[in-house]
A and B are shown apart, each in its own frame.
Chain A
Amino acid sequence: MGRYIIRRLLQAIPLMILLSIFLFTLIHLMPGGPEGVLFNPRLSAAGRAALRANFGLDDPPWLQYFKWVGRMLVGDFGTSFTTYQPVSGIIAARFPATLELFGFSLFLALIVAIALGMISAVRHATLTDYLVTTLSYFGLSMPIFLLGLLAQDIFGVQLHILPTSGTSTPGYVFDPFNAFLDHFLHLLLPMLVLSITFIAGWSRYMRSSMLDVIKQDYMRTARAKGVPFVRILIQHGLRNALIPLITVVAIDFGAVAGGAAVTEGVFAWPGMGLLFIESLDARDYPVLMAMLVLGAVFVIAFNLIADILYAVMDPRIRYS
């Protein structure tokens, strides 16, 4: 087991190195290079030379790369162009909001998807099954901004029961309980919208995985022995059907650093996704690059976690 983990870790390291080279090349490929991105076009030659020395642009590319990686490993991601604050601080400030949104959405989506997948598989080819699969098709095909806009319109504008954007009502100072309630109400819509996209995909996965498991001989044996149906379903069926699903969930969770940019954009949820869009509009490249690097690191890390989880849950993988 340990050997498997170490092997996967060793495979991940060259991947991260390749990735950092890829992203570094990207910065330098942008029109005008780093100079075009950083400098005022009307700078004098002397000013240009001074800035180049300041930013280390006179070093050969490989040296620039190593300095960049070295700084990143220490946690120095540079300074923002727009706010002149350290980028790591900016991102760290936005991370909790995204984590909250993502975490709750994933949790809700997991529960609903597992339930729907199981019901759909057990009631295979009945009306319930067709309803669930149809709904999951709809969920998969619906662009997120449409869902978000519809939700905002129905719940916010027409029914006036849920707020449509932000994390709290501006201008009010609540006592702790009402503040919590206010925050929760603001969280509800984006969380639901984000969950639906996950539920659509995961419930189909769960359904097909569960269908494969139900056909197995050990299920039939347990039933023949007289084990109650629900217990078979949960103890034998669910445990085995969850294995592929958990890896998919872990991989989807790796997108957390991407921050559900679309959902956050539609609901103005102040997380990393919205930060990304704002930085794009402002062409704030240090923030953008830092987020790309962080995003990639998260994806690789969670892919690793998914592989390890799979090996933990399915002993056949460990010894292959």
Chain B
Amino acid sequence: MDVPHRLNVTNVPEEEIEPFLDVTPELVQKRRSQGRIIFDRFIRHRAAIAGGIFLIVMFLFCFAGPLFWRIDPDLIPDNVITARFTPPDLAHPFGTDSVARDELARAIAGGKVSLLVALTSMAGAILLGIGIGSFAGFYGGILDNLLMRFTDVFLAVPLYLLLFVLSATFTDGSPASVVILIAIFGWTYAARLVRGEFLALRDREYVLAARTIGAKNLSLMFRHILPNAAGPIIVNATLLVGANVILESIMSFFGFGIKAPNPSWGNMVADGQGYFDRAPWLVFVPALLIFFTVLSFNLVGDGLRDALDPYMTER
């Protein structure tokens, strides 16, 4: 390489000088996108990966399952008396229940209902929580006080008791009513979380910068602050789905949530409970499905917490 004449080099050899360091492009780390950083962090938690894979399998099971397993979950065959309570075998991998319905088909149908209810109520709760928490955290002052008092009222009532009473009185056993009910009482934690985040983030420089170029309050809240507060909200949302699955199953177990003939994992456990001695699979199939689904949501939620949090604080 040519040595420039400006340098104070007297003894310039004629041949090329070998570069001292082999600074090739591969040593410079390729720039990863934000999503890629989070994904790489998430991948490091093997338990979270296992949970994620299980969830994917579960969703395929519930929503693509009926395409492959064609038996009708509500079908009561003619030979009910002999066909009821058959243990798991090739024709019925999960056995049959007290009226000889195929348990695998019911598990799929129940899973669809349980998962949809949990997800929709989570979405509703998160939306409500963001709506209330963002205004409370951003504006502060009296509005914050009022909204937090309002939230405290919802938090103070014992959740299960209130849900039982309300579902006994107001719902008709349909999934939609259960979704509304769970969402109405599930938003409180999300609201607190969002409020905390907004309180912390509204004094950041980028908010000030956006304000100086004339951004309106709503725009500041939802285009600037909210995306930065998204981390804990996403974690809370994931954990909330798991909690909602358990909540719905407990309600259905006591006969207050999703009622027959709509299947749900909770009321399948309740149905099977009376026959536990001669047909334990009727309890174990839905209960273990609930258990592993909730476990997977919890694992994924914790993995997301570790993946998103360091990114958030690593400014």
Q: Which chain A residues have a beta carbon within 8 Å of chain B's beta carbons?
A: 14-15, 18-19, 22-23, 26, 30-31, 137-138, 140-146, 149, 153, 157, 255, 257-258, 261-262, 265, 276-277, 280-281, 283, 288, 291-292, 295-296, 299-300, 303
Contacts and interface: CB of A to CB of B under 8 A. Distances in A.
B152 interface: yes
B161 A258 contact: yes
A107 B298 CA distance: 26
B152 A276 contact: no
A280 B256 contact: yes
Interface string B136-161: 00000000000001101101111111
A262 B246 CA distance: 12
A143 B157 contact: no
Interface in B179-237: none
B269 A140 contact: no
18 contacts: A18-B153, A22-B153, A141-B292, A141-B295, A143-B249, A144-B250, A146-B269, A257-B158, A258-B158, A258-B161, A261-B161, A261-B254, A280-B164, A280-B254, A280-B256, A291-B161, A299-B155, A303-B156
Interface string B241-270: 010001001100111100000000000010
Contact of A15 (B156, B246, B269): B156
Q: Which among A144, A145, A153, A288 has the greatest number of chain B C-beta atoms within 10 A?
A: A145
B52 to A, nearest CB: 15
B153 A258 contact: no
Contacts of B298: 137, 140-141
Interface string B264-297: 0000010001001100100100011011101100
Nearest to A204: B302
B275 to A, nearest CB: 12
Contacts of A30: 169-170
Contacts of A145: 250, 253, 269, 287
A103 to B, nearest CB: 18
A257 B161 CA distance: 10
A292 B158 contact: yes
B170 A31 contact: yes
A314 B273 CA distance: 48
A276 B157 contact: no
A91 B152 CA distance: 26
B312 interface: no
A185 B220 CA distance: 61
B168 interface: yes
Contacts of A265: 254
A30 B158 CA distance: 19
Contacts of B62: none
A292 B269 contact: no
A137 B80 CA distance: 40
A143 B295 CA distance: 10
A174 to B, nearest CB: 28
Contact of A141 (B162, B164, B280, B294): B294
A80 to B, nearest CB: 15
B157 A299 contact: yes
Given A143-B287, A146-B287, A280-B256, A137 B295 contact: yes
Given A30-B169, A31-B170, A276-B164, A15 B149 contact: yes
B157 A296 contact: yes
Interface in B293-313: 294-295, 298-299
A255 B162 CA distance: 12
A292 B290 contact: no
Contacts of B165: 26, 280, 288, 292
B137 to A, nearest CB: 19
- Which 8 interchain pairs have the tightest Cβ spacing? A258-B158, A141-B295, A295-B158, A146-B287, A141-B294, A18-B153, A296-B156, A299-B156
Given A146-B290, A280-B256, A295 B168 contact: no
Contacts of A26: 165-166
A269 to B, nearest CB: 15
B292 to A, nearest CB: 8
A143 B294 contact: yes
Contacts of B164: 261, 276-277, 280
Given A153-B276, A257-B158, 17 more contacts: A15-B156, A26-B165, A30-B169, A31-B170, A141-B292, A143-B250, A143-B253, A143-B290, A143-B291, A145-B269, A149-B283, A149-B287, A255-B158, A261-B161, A277-B164, A292-B162, A295-B158
Contacts of A261: 160-161, 164, 254
Contacts of B280: 153
Contacts of A142: 291, 294
A56 B150 CA distance: 29
B250 A262 contact: yes
